[in-house]
């Protein structure tokens, strides 16, 4: 093949932002405001996203542009003005970093107990690169995989990418991870996540995956990735693409279930033919592609986008898995959708798709107690309420038990909800807030 058929990955970072934004009719002040946001929240994209996914004639409304480029509303206006002022006068780097850190600390960088309640302890040592929230599942954050081919503007793991090591969850201690898993035979599933583990070379990924195949109690391995959307060449023409697929085959041949937890946000990400080829190659290894993503204001907060996304991924042999609620961190105030409206979008889209696509669950909040699913809005004993249940929970006894919250049209997260019927708690062991 000619070099034209072997695209090379080219990343764009904040230093490239001003030049990229010159494709759009923005004033100098508008570009400065977006640079100000990118000095607090992470920005990274690549040539494939810029050239193949974004419709520049539709910017700034284009969904993939909003998905990958900073928006002024992502931070409170006073914070944008403060950072823009620092950049405009070319303030010392240390001063800019101090101001950015102060703003980040107000953005709830690690929600739902990620740095306290979820970190396991083994032989007296906190394993800060692991998360063990649910008994049967452990998350592993490989140190070399704590970046992505491009960053989503709404990303709830934004603290991984801002260069502050005290905010990052990561490990390269494969031996400690294996020792912990052997000591916890209840763990049947391991999710290798990030960042994006598929930014790593296959050789490095193999160092984390192969030891899992020597632990009999681990029956499924998941790899969380946005690469099918943001860099599908990882599976087709990258130098070690074939080796990556051989690793997938090795996992499947070991008798385990391998799931590629693919993050798709909008059907526009599925349009390039290379995405379909990448998905075919992954499926040919025996791996299953499960698709998930959040409902995000201004990007996919309409039923048309979700119905199309679920039907197209199903046609391509993938499994619609979760529609998430935008988490209570970072720019949630800008991207969050009220639960009542979010459920209406979900229900409308769900009603349009075939039964094969109705494997999807949503809208789902990954909250402190677990994965809380909004089942709907109804009336019970004369009171308008949200009906909910936990798909996953820290306390397994809470899984699948329905409960009710007082209807609140403006509620965007679990902590906004109050028990219905004047109760003091939702369920025994499940408190509000």
pLDDT in tens, 34-58: 999 999 999 999 999 999 999 999 9
Q: What is the pLDDT of residues 209-232, one digit of tens each?
A: 999 999 999 999 999 999 999 999
Q: 116 pLDDT band (50/70/90 cuts)?
A: confident
Q: What is the model's pLDDT at position 111?
A: 79
| Angle value at C-alpha 13, between 8 and 18, nearest 5 degrees | 115
Q: Could you tell me the pTM of the whole model?
A: 0.94
Q: 112 pLDDT band (50/70/90 cuts)?
A: low
Give the whole-angstrom CA distance, residue 407 versus residue 339.
10
Rounded to an integer, the average pLDDT of 69-89 is 97
**Average pLDDT across the chain, whole number:** 95
Sign of the Cα pseudo-torsion (168, 171, 177, 180, in order) = negative
Per mean pLDDT, which range of 41-45, 166-170, 260-264, 417-421 is the poorest? 166-170
Structure tokens at 373: 């699913």
Q: What is the pLDDT of residues 249-307, one digit of tens each?
A: 999 999 999 999 999 999 999 999 999 999 999 999 999 999 999 999 999 999 999 99
- Answer whether residue 2 shows pLDDT above 80: no
Which residue did the predictor score with more confidence, 47 or 166? 47
Q: What is the model's pLDDT at position 5?
A: 66
| Helix, strand, coil shares, percent, the chain, to 5 | 40, 20, 40
Q: What is the model's pLDDT at position 228?
A: 98
- Size of the chain in residues: 433
Q: What is the pLDDT of residues 185-203, one digit of tens each?
A: 999 999 999 999 999 999 9
Instruction: Kindly tell me the burial class for residue 57, based on how many C-beta atoms sit within 10 Å of its own C-beta (0-12, 13-18, 19 or more).
Output: exposed
Q: What is the pLDDT of residues 363-407, one digit of tens each?
A: 999 999 999 999 999 999 999 999 999 999 999 999 999 999 999
- Answer whether residue 4 shows pLDDT above 60: no
Rounded to an integer, the average pLDDT of 138-144 is 96
Phi, psi at residue 3, to the nearest 5°? -60, -25
Give the whole-angstrom CA distance, residue 317 versus residue 324.
21
Residue 2 has a CB neighbour count (10 Å cut-off) of 5
Rounded to an integer, the average pLDDT of 53-82 is 96
Q: What is the model's pLDDT at position 167?
A: 75
């Amino acid at each position: 093949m000619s070099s034209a058929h072997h695209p090379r990955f080219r990343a764009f970072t904040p230093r490239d932002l001003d030049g990229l934004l010159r494709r759009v009719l923005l004033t100098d002040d508008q570009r400065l405001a977006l640079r100000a946001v990118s000095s607090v929240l992470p920005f990274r994209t690549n040539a494939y996203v810029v050239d193949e996914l974004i419709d520049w004639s539709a910017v700034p409304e284009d969904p993939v542009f909003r998905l990958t480029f900073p928006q002024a509303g992502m931070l409170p206006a006073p914070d944008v003005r403060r950072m823009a002022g620092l950049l405009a006068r070319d303030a010392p780097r240390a001063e800019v970093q101090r101001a950015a850190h102060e703003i980040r600390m107000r953005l709830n960088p690690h929600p739902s107990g990620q740095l306290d309640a979820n970190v396991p302890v083994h032989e007296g040592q906190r394993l800060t690169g692991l998360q063990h929230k649910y008994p049967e599942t452990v998350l592993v954050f490989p140190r070399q995989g704590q970046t992505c081919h491009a960053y989503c503007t709404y990303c709830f793991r934004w603290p991984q990418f801002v260069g502050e090591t005290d905010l990052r969850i990561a490990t390269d201690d494969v031996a400690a991870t294996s020792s912990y898993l052997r000591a916890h035979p209840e763990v049947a599933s391991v999710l290798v996540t990030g960042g994006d583990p598929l930014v790593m070379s296959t050789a490095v990924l193999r160092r984390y995956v192969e030891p899992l195949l020597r632990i009999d109690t681990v029956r499924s391995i998941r790899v969380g990735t946005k690469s099918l959307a943001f860099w599908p060449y990882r599976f087709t023409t990258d130098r070690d693409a074939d080796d990556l697929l051989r690793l997938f085959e090795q996992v499947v041949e070991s008798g385990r279930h391998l799931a590629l937890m693919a993050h798709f946000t909008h059907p526009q990400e599925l349009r390039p033919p290379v995405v379909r080829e990448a998905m075919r190659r992954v499926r040919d290894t025996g791996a299953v592609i499960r698709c998930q993503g959040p409902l995000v204001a201004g990007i996919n907060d309409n039923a048309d986008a979700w119905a199309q996304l679920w039907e197209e991924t199903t046609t391509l042999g993938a499994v619609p898995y979760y529609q998430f609620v935008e988490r209570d961190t970072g720019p949630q105030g800008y991207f969050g959708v009220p639960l009542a409206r979010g459920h209406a979008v979900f229900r409308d889209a769900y009603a349009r798709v075939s039964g094969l696509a109705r494997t999807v669950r949503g809208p789902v909040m990954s909250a402190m107690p677990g994965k809380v699913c909004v089942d709907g809005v109804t009336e019970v004993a004369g009171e308008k309420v949200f009906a909910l249940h936990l798909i996953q929970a820290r306390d397994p006894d809470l899984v699948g038990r329905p409960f009710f919250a007082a209807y609140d049209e403006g509620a965007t997260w679990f902590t906004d909800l109050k028990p219905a019927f004047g109760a003091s708690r939702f369920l025994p062991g499940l408190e509000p807030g």
